[in-house]
Amino acid sequence: MEDNPVTREEMIDRLRKAMSDSSTEDVDWDSVTEATEIGSLGFDSLSILDLIYEIQREFKIKFAAEEIVKVRTVGHLLDFLQARV
Amino acid sequence: MSSPLLTLRHRAEFAVFHAVLRAIDRMPVDRALAMASRIGDIVYALDFYRRGVAKRNIRLSGIAAGRAETVRIARASFRSFAQLAVESLKADDYFRSGRWREMVDLQIDPAADEALKAPGRGAILAGGHIGNWEIASRVLATFKPVVGITKNMNNPLTDRLVKDRRARENFTMTPKRDADAGRLLEVLNRGHVLGLLVDQHARSAYGEPIRFFGRHVSMHKSAALLHLVSGAPLILGCCVRTGNMKFLVRAYPPVNIPRSGDKNTDVRALMLELNSKLEDMVREFPEQYLWAHRRWRPLRPALLAKIEKLGPGA
């Protein structure tokens, strides 16, 4: 039996959760789309670490933390994650 | 220089600061250090506020047997800070000429030594405001490039001068706040050492309530989180003064705690371990700790709620 592939919409929902768990900013996470710039979500040098930890936990994947910090938009982050899930 | 933001006060401060630096540069070491001790005594006598903070912190830590001991440690701490400034300036010659081993004894744990010298492998060196953390960074920078975190000074003129004096080969500074959120991870990715002072009060929402000498402080999570997400070894170290221009640089074994899989549990365990080792250092060298820093400040309601939620063992 084949595994059901995770849809992009499911992934963005899980990503929104990981982001809201790690951010201390007051953001309307439902309005976050693939075009949203990650830099506009208020992550700083510490909360980005929280986010990386949450992503590694949520998607059960390991990657070198520095690979993710140059990703600019939520859509690019989804691409990054889809290639590894 | 013509910025309207530069006030007369900035310029006056800069002029005095610059003159003092030049005087120290020209003075023989022993004389400069004797002057530093006197300045430490004068500041201790005149700065009621910081003297009070230092004495209160020493009392709260429980390391002094009584009032006389508290006063002795507090005064020595002020002298130590003044000596730090002078010795950091005077150390330039030793490092530039490669003679730094004449003034430094190394006591580096073998596993820490391997981690700090491994080519291409980043490491996190955590320390506290004890002894001479400037010399510690420069010794480390002889192993591999070191990046420290700095906060801008209020006076832009003195800030520029201090940064120019601090900028040296293999030792660079990155601002405490910066738009590039990933820069700390990039430091580790480049195989450099990231130096962090972990005993500062955390004002932001990222402070974690951790006990230091039995009382809760708001502590930065950076070192622990960086270690968890990057896997870079986390090493605690210090550089203490053993005489005029003589130092002992010590690095402890890399912090190694069993992982629970829960971020908050693991972050707290790492922070407790760092604080516990830092307490040991302070007990061993209490006169060289910066007691005038307000470590035990009133905690924000969110942190008090967290302590209550964590229960009596927190």
Per the CB < 8 Å rule, is A46 touching B206?
A: yes
Within 8 A by CB and 6+ apart from A17, the residues are: A58
Interface of A with B (CB under 8 A): 24, 39, 43-50, 52-54, 56-57, 64-66, 68-70
Alpha helices, H only, B172-235: 183-189, 222-230
Q: Contact at 8 Å (CB) between A74 and A32? A: yes
Compute the distance between CA of residue B66 and CA of residue B72 in angstroms, rounded to an integer: 10
Query: Would you tell me how many other CB atoms lie within 10 Å of the CB of residue B37?
Result: 17
From edge to edge, which strands make up the β-sheet containing B146-150? B104-108, B246-251, B234-243, B123-127, B193-197, B146-150, B171-175
The tens digit of pLDDT for each residue in A59-73 reads 888 777 777 777 888
Cβ pair A46:B230 closer than 8 A = no
By Cβ distance, the residue of A39, A43, A53 closest to B229 is A53
| Terminal Cα distance for chain B, rounded | 51
Domain count, chain B: 1
ipTM over 0.85: no
Please state, for a pLDDT cut of 90, what percent of chain B lies above it.
59
pLDDT digits (tens, 9 = 90+) for A1-39: 445 667 888 888 888 888 888 887 788 888 888 999 887
- Tell if the CB–CB gap between B186 and A50 is shorter than 8 Å: no
The answer to whether the Cβ–Cβ distance between B183 and A56 falls below 8 Å is no
Range of the domain at B180: 3-310
Of A45, A53, A69, the CB nearest to B178: A45
For residue B1, is pLDDT > 50?
A: no
Could you tell me which of B224, B195, B196 has the C-alpha nearest to residue B208?
A: B224
Contact across the interface for A24 and B188, Cβ inside 8 Å = no
Residues of A in contact with B179 (CB under 8 A): 39
Q: Which two tokens stand for residue B175?
A: 């601002």
pTM confidence score: 0.86
Q: What is the Cα–Cα distance from A32 to A17, expressed in whole angstroms? A: 11
